[in-house]
A and B are shown apart, each in its own frame.
Chain A
Amino acid sequence: MGWVANIFDSLRSLKIQQALTQSVSLGVIITWALMIWKCLIGLTGSESPVVVVLSGSMEPAFHRGDILFLNMGKDPIRAGEIIVFNFDKKKIPVVHRVIQLHEQRDTGDIYIITKGDNNDIDDRGLYAEDGHLWLQQHHIMGRAVGFLPYAGWITIILTEMPVVKYLLIGVLCLMVITSENRSLNISTK
């Protein structure tokens, strides 16, 4: 148990100034991440510009763990496009392809039916669960424009196996503390 006491000792010996610097730089990193995310939302016009595919309903195009880049854009939605939609903001969004579209002459409103490439039937049953007959513009979160395979697996693992998340955070904290200790030792030598 000597090393635990050692870490506590080194923690105590940390200067307040150093701890403050550390927390400020951490804050800067978090702020940067937030800024980039908000800029992306502004640029793409989509409320979540990057999404991770969770199901196999669009195979072989998208597999579980692939990352999609979304864009809303000003162009009207057309048949064949892959869109991300959601009837209830609390539910997980769905990524499927538009197979039927009607655009009204007077109002410009669109009425859409989607289907997953790997599914046998269209999504009418899915809409009915939420009491809708058609998918409409305000249900759409964005259209898929770019694709990056596998990169989303890390978020799937982190959300579905919390143990891994806590382990990772623990290891990172330990590394921060021990590296601080070493630099302190070097500087005092």
Chain B
Amino acid sequence: MHSAVHRMNALFTFSVLLLAVLCGAASFLDAFTSPLSSSSSYVRADAQVLRVNRFRKQLNGNDEVSLNLNVSIDMRSLFTWNTKQVFVFLAAEYATPKNSLNQISLWDHIILDKDQANFQTKVNSKYPLIDQGSNLRGRKVDIVLHWHVMPKTGRMVRDKLLLSDFHLPEVYT
């Protein structure tokens, strides 16, 4: 009545269906286990600009800044059994007469493990802060921490937290 092919087909279909249901359940249960709705209060972090390493106008007329930052992050609460990694980055955010929003990533880091989610470090900006134009002298810049939670399977979640602000110098270095 049932050939080997029929049995294999049924087994394969069932296992694929089961896997799909498990993936769906894992992603659904994430909504309860991780404090995503108000994660800002669960993430403790601080970042201060220690020093402006370099501040100049590029030959093409765009302002360029290199910074030295002190970063401390505690993101252990973001890790659940369905968390593959947390991508975290510090962005400089500011407004200029031409642009209502400028977001420039200064430094980023991938956290793979809960044990590595609590640290403090001094870093130079990994990417230079380059403006679209020459608007940075004396400009107030917000330092914002962004994070992007990557699940083993399911929905990706991101959030941000304003950490500090500072004013760039009035003159180039």
Residues of chain A at the chain B interface (Cβ within 8 Å): 60-61, 78-82, 97, 99-105, 111, 117, 122, 144-149, 175
Interface flag for B154 (CB, 8 Å): yes
Residues of chain B at the chain A interface (Cβ within 8 Å): 5, 23, 27, 84-85, 87, 89, 91, 97-105, 108, 110, 112, 127, 130, 132, 146-148, 150-156, 158, 160
Query: Chain A contacts of B87 at CB under 8 A?
Result: 61, 80, 97, 117
* Cβ–Cβ contact B132 & A79, under 8 A: no
* Cβ–Cβ contact A104 & B99, under 8 A: yes
- B13 to nearest A CB, angstroms? 14
* Cβ–Cβ contact B105 & A146, under 8 A: no
Query: Chain A contacts of B5 at CB under 8 A?
Result: 175
Query: Which residue of B is nearest A104, CB measured?
Result: B99
* Cβ–Cβ contact A104 & B148, under 8 A: no
Query: Which residue of B is nearest A66, CB measured?
Result: B153
* Cβ–Cβ contact B156 & A103, under 8 A: no
Give bound CA distance, A103 to B99, whole Å: 5
* Cβ–Cβ contact A105 & B105, under 8 A: no
* Cβ–Cβ contact B85 & A103, under 8 A: no
Give bound CA distance, A71 to B148, whole Å: 16
Give bound CA distance, A99 to B148, whole Å: 12
* Cβ–Cβ contact A102 & B158, under 8 A: no
Query: Chain B contacts of A82 at CB under 8 A?
Result: 148, 156
Give bound CA distance, A104 to B102, whole Å: 9
User: Do A117 and B105 form a contact, CB below 8 Å, given A61-B84, A61-B150, A99-B127?
Assistant: no
The total of interchain contacts (Cβ-Cβ below 8 angstroms) comes to 84
- From the candidates B89, B102, B148, B156, name the one contacting A101 in the complex (CB within 8 A): B102
Query: Chain B contacts of A101 at CB under 8 A?
Result: 101-104
Query: Chain A contacts of B154 at CB under 8 A?
Result: 146-147
* Cβ–Cβ contact A80 & B148, under 8 A: yes
- B130 to nearest A CB, angstroms? 8
Give bound CA distance, A97 to B132, whole Å: 20
Chain B CB within 10 Å, residue with most, of A79, A99, A145: A79
* Cβ–Cβ contact A105 & B97, under 8 A: yes
* Cβ–Cβ contact A105 & B99, under 8 A: yes
- A2 to nearest B CB, angstroms? 20
Query: Which residue of A is nearest B27, CB measured?
Result: A146
Give bound CA distance, A60 to B152, whole Å: 11
- B132 to nearest A CB, angstroms? 5
Besides the contacts A80-B147, A101-B104, A146-B27, what 15 more A-B pairs have beta carbons closer than 8 Å? A61-B110, A61-B150, A78-B103, A79-B146, A80-B89, A81-B148, A102-B101, A102-B103, A103-B102, A145-B155, A146-B154, A147-B156, A149-B152, A149-B153, A175-B5
* Cβ–Cβ contact A103 & B105, under 8 A: no
* Cβ–Cβ contact B103 & A100, under 8 A: yes
* Cβ–Cβ contact B100 & A144, under 8 A: no
Query: Which residue of A is nearest B19, CB measured?
Result: A151
A sample of 15 cross-chain residue pairs with beta-carbon separation below 8 angstroms, ordered by A number, consists of A60-B85, A61-B87, A80-B89, A80-B91, A80-B146, A97-B87, A100-B104, A100-B105, A101-B103, A101-B104, A105-B100, A146-B154, A147-B150, A147-B154, A149-B152
- From the candidates A80, A99, A103, A122, name the one contacting B158 in the complex (CB within 8 A): A80
- A43 to nearest B CB, angstroms? 16
Give bound CA distance, A105 to B160, whole Å: 22
Query: Chain B contacts of A148 at CB under 8 A?
Result: 23, 153
